[in-house]
Every structure is written in C-alpha cells, then in structure tokens.
A = this chain, B = another copy of it.
C-alpha cells in the first residue's frame, strides 16, 4: 500500500514516519512538511541519514498527490486538518488525522474548546474516533479516522471498563495525568528549553486542558449520561511516556477480584492492553504500543486508584495510528507494532 504523511517533521510525524518505514506492507509515497519544505527528511532528523533521504514536499503538492495513495496521515497541530480534509473529502483516499478537529461529535464543544467551525456536519459525523479497543469494527470500515489524543488514550483505557456501571460514582472522577516533554511537540519555547524543563516538575492548564472535553464526550456517550470530571496534566522531565493516576469513588462494595474480572473481561481480545498486578511505569511501555493498567481498590476510602501508562508517541499517537491503519486496510492489527525493542 502507498501512504503519504502531511506533517512528517513534528515529533509525532517523525515517529509515524519511522514506523511506516519499517512496516512490511507500506511504501511511503510522500512526506510533507510546512517548516522544512524542500529539505531532505534525513537533514531534518539526522538519525535517518541514508535511511529516509526523500525530500519533504509542501502542502499543496501533497494535496495534489492524494489520489495516488491509499491512505493519508495528517499529523498537524489542532485546527489545521479541518480545512485540508474538507478540500480532499471527495478524493478516493482513507485518512487518519492526528489533530483534534474530528475527535468529537459535538459541533458546539469543538467550537467552544478549539474555536473551530465545522460546516460539513456529515463529514464530521462520518469520522470515527480511532480507539481500537472501543471502536474496532467501526474503524475497519471507516474512511476518516480521528486518532485520539495521548491523554485521552491513557485516560479512556483506564476508565472504559467501569463506565456505565451503577456502582461507580461518575461525579467523583479525578484524572491526574503526567506526560514527558515530547507531548508538547517540537517547539522552541523557553519553558521547553533544556535548562528550564530539566530537574523540574509542574502542572499546567489546570481545569482548562483541551483533552478534557474529548475524554468527557467519549465517557458520556458510553455512560448515556453527562460526565464532568477533573483533569490535570503535568510535565515530567523525561522524553516519552504518560502515566495517568485516576481516582473514582465506588458506591457499593466490590472486591478487588470482581474489579479485576471486569477489566480482564473487557480487554480479553486487546493485544495492546496489559492488565498488570505490579505497578505500571512509563519505562515499561516506552517505545511500544502497549497500555499497562493496574486497578487498585483503596478500602480505606472505597476509592479505585487506576494507573494507566502508555508511550505518548506510540500508543498515544503514531503507534495507534498504525494500529488504525492495519484495521482499515485489513492487515493483522499488530503488524509492525508487536513486542518491545528498547528498554533503555
């Protein structure tokens, strides 16, 4: 199959590109970049010298080429893909979009949190939220898949098995999430410079992070009730990884075994979700497509503490996109994503 990548030189884009390079069924037809148009991909990322020497093309050239490929990845900052996708919607090409533009169904929420106007509601409603563990069958036949955000992936995989159950207090959900610095993208802001971010830990965007409504919409749809929750992201001085610590009150009495059974059952067919009985760590999923989960019942408070760990650039982004591509193209879901290469 032939693919193209718009936005190949951001951190998510380059991770996607290197996974595509190694994928046994994929041929990369073009790489596109705003910032580095005309430069070799291997000059932007010197690691890929002698490996990926093709030149990055510009957006317009990429759009012209969409008919020559089977699947287009768009890995741009939020708000950039809407216009592009509207321009190519009649082309015969599948699309996986990394942005938030098509992740939510509700026009008003998208408008409120992202300032984006969806004019073509049919197009919006056609988009499938690309979390395979939730929407596997819809993804298989989708033409347009909205790849989930990194925080929502970790949060939703931690919460989905419980949502809709009468014994959880959905008003009590607190998601305390921590991410490595790649989550902020390849930027040159002072706060992301080495000396400022290193040896530092902080929260940001308290009560206002735009992944909040994404998480809430998916959960609300599953629960058939409006769910509002607290979500606090933090910045960890490391490159990769998200660990979410999720708190939720139980209404009745459940044992740890009952809870374990719920999760094991929910994920029994999901290769990339690993139920653990030891504490998840970001390092244990680093550079893999796994989500490691632990559910702890704190009997003193009758609260569940759920730990969910992923690699934000793999399961939280490029790896999940490959997983979605495999589903859309009829390949084995794990193709090019199995196992783990590098612990350190």
Using a CB–CB cutoff of 8 Å, the interface residues on chain A facing chain B are 11, 14-15, 18-19, 21-22, 45-51, 171-172, 174, 176, 178, 180-182, 186-190, 192-204, 206-207, 228-230, 232, 234, 236-241, 243, 245, 247, 274, 276, 278-288, 292, 296, 298-301, 303, 305, 307, 309, 313, 338-344
- Specify which of B19, B194, B232, B274 is in contact with A194 (CB 8 Å cutoff): B194
- Kindly list 14 other residue pairs between chains A and B, CB separation below 8 angstroms, not including A192-B193, A228-B300: A22-B339, A22-B341, A46-B281, A47-B284, A181-B194, A181-B198, A194-B194, A198-B239, A200-B282, A202-B281, A203-B280, A230-B298, A234-B243, A341-B342
State the copy count for this chain. Answer: 4
Does the CB pair A301–B229 fall under 8 Å? yes
Closest-CB distance, A298 to chain B (whole angstroms): 4
Cα-based distance from A299 to B203 in the complex (angstroms) = 18
Q: Give 18 A-B contacts (CB < 8 Å), ordered by A residue.
A: A18-B339, A46-B281, A47-B288, A172-B172, A174-B176, A174-B247, A182-B344, A186-B190, A188-B188, A195-B239, A195-B344, A199-B286, A200-B282, A201-B282, A202-B279, A202-B282, A204-B279, A237-B238
User: How far apart are the CA atoms of A274 and B51 in the complex, in Å?
Assistant: 11
Among candidates B14, B48, B49, B206, residue contacting A296 with C-beta atoms closer than 8 Å = B206
